[in-house]
Structure 1
Amino acid sequence: MREGFARAADGTRLAYQVNGDGPPLVLLAGQANNHRWWDGVREDFEGTHRTITLDHRGTGASDKPDIACTTRDFASDVIAVLDELGIASADVYGTSMGGRIAQWLAVDHPGRLRRLVLGCTSPGGPHAAERDADVRRALAQPDPVAAQRALLELMYSPEWLAEHDGPRCVLGDPDMPPHARRHHLAASNRHDAWEQLPRISARTLVLHGADDRMTPASNAELIAERIPGAEARVLPGLRHAYFHEGRPQTSDLVADFLRAR
C-alpha cells in the first residue's frame, strides 16, 4: 500500500492510502472512522481497480483541527486527494457518512465522477427517514461498554456476531479527540442534499441493508427516486455494515455495476 498526504484548501493535511491497479475507485468511510473502515472489503476490488481511501480530517493520520465542517467540506477534501494523485475522474463508493460526502462530490464535481455507489446512507434534512428514539437512546447511554455493544448490534446481525469476534473496524477511530468527534457528528446530522440530488448525473447504485435501524432502509428508495436513473437494492437480513456481513455478494454487486457498460 502506498501512503501519502494531500493538503485541503484550509491547509489541513489529509492522509491517503492507495493500493491495487486499474481504474481509480474512491472508498469513503463512515462518521468518526478512518480508512480501516474498509478493511476486508477493499481487497475485493483490488484485482480490477486502484482503490483510494483517506483518513477524514479528525481521524487516523490526518490533521485534527478544532474547526467546524460540513459534509460538503469533506467532499472538498476528497477532491484535494484526487488532485494530489493527479486523478481526473474516479468511481466513488461511499457508505454511511461517506455516502453523504459522496452525494456532494457528485453534485459539486460532476466531471470528477464516473460512477457512484451510495451505501447505508441518507439524503439528510427533513425529508430523510430518521432512526427511532430507542436507537438514539442506546447510542447515547453513559456506559461506554453498553453504548459500544448497542452500536455493534446496529451494525451486524446476531447470527453474524455469534460467528465473528472481530476485528471491529467500523466502531470508530479510538484515537479521535473529542472535538473531532463533535465536528463529525454535527456534519453528519446537518447534512441535507435533498434539493440538489436531482442534479447528479453520474450513473448511481444505492445499496442498503433491509434491517438497518441506524439509517432506516427507506432512505435508499428516497435517494434513488431523487437521482435520475438511479437503481436501489435493499438487501434482506443485513444491517448498517452490510458491506462486511454481506460479502462477497455485496462487493460483487458493486463490481458488476462498475463494470457494466
Structure 2
Amino acid sequence: MSGLVDVADTRLHVVRRGEGPPLLLLVGLGGRADFWSGTMAHFETSYDCVSFDHRKTGDSLPSDIRTTVAVLAADALALMDRLGIGTARVVGHSLGGAIAQHIAVHAPERVEKLVLSASWAGPHPAFLKLFELRKAVLQAAGPEAYMLQGNLLGNPGWWAMANHGAMMAGIKARLEAFAGVDIEMERMDAVTSHDLRDRVGGIAAETLVICARDDGITPLPLSEELARLIPNARLEVLPSGNHFAPVTTPEDWRAPVSAFLA
C-alpha cells in the first residue's frame, strides 16, 4: 500500500509493505519514507513494514501546526491507531530516532523493541554549530547548495565518488519536492531542540543503538551517550557508512538490526 491516510489534522503519505509483526520505520530530517526503500525490501518478507512522509514534506499534505519532535511522534502514534497497530518494533534514524525516543518515553506500551540509528539524546555545542552552518547555507546559498552540503556531510567520501550520479539524481528529486526554506528551517529547529537526556533513562523497551564510527552529522559520542543513558541498551558501532549508513553500507547496518529485531 502507498497513499494518503487521514491522521489528526492532516494527511500523511504512508508506505506499507510486507507481512508479519509491525515494524515502524521513522525517517530523519529528509522527511521522506523513500529513505527506507531498501530497508523495506529487505524486511518485508518478515515484517509488516510501515513508514510515512512527515507532515509538510514529501507527498504528505501541508499543515499549519509547527513541526516539533512531539508533533511528529503524535503523528506516528495516530497513524498506528489508524492502521490498527497496537504495538510495534520501532526503528528511528537520526530525527526519526528522536521521534522514536519520544514514543518510547511517553507511550512505552506501544514499543516492543527499539532501534535508534545515528541519533542523540540531547544536543552538544558542536552539533548545534553544525546546524547553525546548515541553516546559514540554506538561507544564503539556497536549497541546492544546502542539500549538496548535507549529502557531502552525511555520505562517506568513497560512497559519494562511487555513486555520484545517483547522489545528484537524489538531490534533484528532493529539490523538485522541496517544501520551502521556512519549513526546512522549522524542521532543523526540531532537530536542535530535541533533548530527552533526563527522560531516556526511563525507556523500558529493549534497545539497540547503532551508528557508524565516521558519522559526521551525529558523531559517535552522541550514540555512546544515548546507549549509556538507556538502561541495558546495546551499542553497535559500524566501521564505516557515515550518517546514512542504512543506505551507504546497508548489509553492515541490516545484519545487527535483523538479529536484534528477531
Number of the residue aligned with 2:136: 140
Number of the residue aligned with 1:96: 94
User: What's the offset of the Cα at 1:147?
Assistant: 3.4
Consecutive unaligned residues of structure 1, counting only runs of 5 or more, are: none
Consecutive unaligned residues of structure 2, counting only runs of 5 or more, are: none
Number of the residue aligned with 1:5: 5
Q: C-alpha distance in 2, partners of 1:236/1:172?
A: 28
Q: C-alpha distance in 2, partners of 1:134/1:194?
A: 20
Aligned ranges for residues 139-158 of structure 1 at < 5 Å? 140-141=136-137, 142-144=140-142, 145-158=144-157
Q: Do the aligned partners of residues 220 and 134 (structure 1) sit closer, same or farther apart at CA in structure 2, a change above 3 Å counting? A: closer
Number of the residue aligned with 1:83: 81
Taking structure 1 as the reference length, what is the TM-score of the superposition? Answer: 0.90
Correspondence 1:241 to 2:244: yes
Kindly provide the CA deviation profile for residues 191-247 of structure 1, in whole angstroms up to 9, marking residues without a partner as x.
111111011000000011111111111111100111111011121122100111111
Alignment length, in residue pairs?
255
Greater helix content: 2
Taking structure 2 as the reference length, what is the TM-score of the superposition? Answer: 0.89
Which residue of 120, 126, 131 maps to 1:130?
A: 126
User: What's the offset of the Cα at 1:172?
Assistant: 5.3
Contact 1:199 1:227 in 2 (8 A): yes
Contact 1:139 1:148 in 2 (8 A): no
User: What's the offset of the Cα at 1:137?
Assistant: 3.1
User: What's the offset of the Cα at 1:4?
Assistant: 3.8
Whichever residue aligns with residue 156 of structure 1, its letter is N
Higher RCO structure, 1 or 2 (CA under 8 Å, sep 6+):
1
Q: Do the aligned partners of residues 143 and 183 (structure 1) sit closer, same or farther apart at CA in structure 2, a change above 3 Å counting? A: closer
Contact 1:32 1:181 in 2 (8 A): no
Correspondence 1:37 to 2:35: yes
Q: C-alpha distance in 2, partners of 1:134/1:110?
A: 32
Contact 2:128 2:192 in 1 (8 A): no
Which residue of 214, 226, 231 maps to 1:211?
A: 214
Kindly provide the CA deviation profile for residues 49-89 of structure 1, in whole angstroms up to 9, marking residues without a partner as x.
11000111111222222332320121111011000010110
Q: C-alpha distance in 2, partners of 1:129/1:232?
A: 23
Alignment identity in percent? 31
